[in-house]
Structure 1
């Protein structure tokens, strides 16, 4: 199975595109679309996307991003549980000042720790960008599980870095995917902000349909 996933499905921009990257492209688009719609199905589809991209990233030596997908699977299961059991607010909300401080501290500590690990213990050729994008992506996913509107800003920032990073690694289809993600993140930010502005207190913010 792994041999098939890491074999070339097609060639794009002069570089081979593996089946893992191709399937990750398709599932990633569907996942982000469902997040914008606040549909609970984004979580299981996102978990499948994480597993596919983990294979694709490890294959090209993006070890930080590969291990990030493992954490995403855990966060995806957590988000699926919270959205599905009603144990989280059923409408979007703004990030509090205290939450911003905790996110900033966690982001700095995660970036420094991951940079040190990737530079010292792996063969990563881009430990700095790899660590930064990994840390910010984790924070953005955490914000998504709690329906924080500003989590979209974190995704926008990290996607701006991801696009050239994946191009540098010849993951051109994934770079294109994250360019589309960037556009979807802008739409998601606008949709969640509008919902925050107009939804009455206590109204549900997502659908099982």
Structure 2
């Protein structure tokens, strides 16, 4: 375990705790975690995860700004997506994941000055990355399916990070899996079907 991995995970867990307490400090703490994870994922050649952190950096800056402005308290109702929409979102997620995996499998050839070595698990890494983007998008809309995406991402992540020998992050994903399961159960109690 590296110091970058340890500190990134500590800041990440702190950020999760802060968001559960609805504290604006969650955003700068999360940004520190994102920057540390960017460095880690670049070092261990999980390039999709590296690029995913850029997305989280942008979302964290936006979240920090949004929570700092008035009228950020509007609450959406927790709801299900219609089956047709679920299938469409899943199909798009898989298609973009495959395309991203194909790109990441060749990224060391396309940009050798930046990506010095071949990506590890480019398709699986791309799948978890694109699924995370989808989950975040669904979560912003308070769609119950977001938790199902997070559960799948967490299960894959536990194995992937364990194999890549970043065991502290693998353990973090065990915690995230438990949070996702609990979140899905909690949201199921109040979810409504909305088209």
Question: Which category of TM-score, normalised to the shorter sequence, fits these structures?
Answer: 0.7 to 0.9
Q: Deviations over 1:46-93 (max 9, x none)?
A: 332221111111111111101110011112333444555546841442
1:53-68 alignment to 2 at 5 Å? 53-68=37-52
**In 2, are the aligned partners of 1:57 and 1:63 still within 8 Å (CA)?**
yes
Normalized against structure 2, the TM-score is what? 0.79
Equivalent residues of 1:137, 1:158 under 8 A apart: yes
Residue 193 (str. 1) matches residue 188 (str. 2): yes
Between 66-75 and 23-32, the greater mean CA deviation after superposition: 23-32
Unaligned runs of 5+ in 2: 109-117
How far has the Cα of 1:38 moved from its partner? Answer: 6.9
Indicate how the Cα distance of structure 1 residues 20 and 75 shifts in structure 2: closer, same or farther if over 3 A, else same. same
1:118 aligned onto 2:104:
yes
Q: What residue number does 1:167 align with? A: 162
1:29 aligns with 2:13: yes
Matched, 1:20 2:4: yes
> What is the number of equivalent residue pairs in this alignment?
180
**Which shifted more, 83-92 or 132-141?**
83-92
Q: Residue deviations 1:147-167, cap 9 Å, x none?
A: 333211111110000011001
8 Å Cα contact 2:81-2:145 kept in structure 1: no
Name the TM-score, length of structure 1 as normaliser. 0.74
In the alignment, structure 1 segments of 5+ residues that lack a partner are 1-16, 198-209
**Higher RCO structure (Cα 8 Å, ≥6 apart):** 1
Of residues 54, 79, 83, the one that matches 1:94 is: 79
1:84 and 1:147, CA in 2 relative to 1: closer, same or farther beyond 3 A?
farther
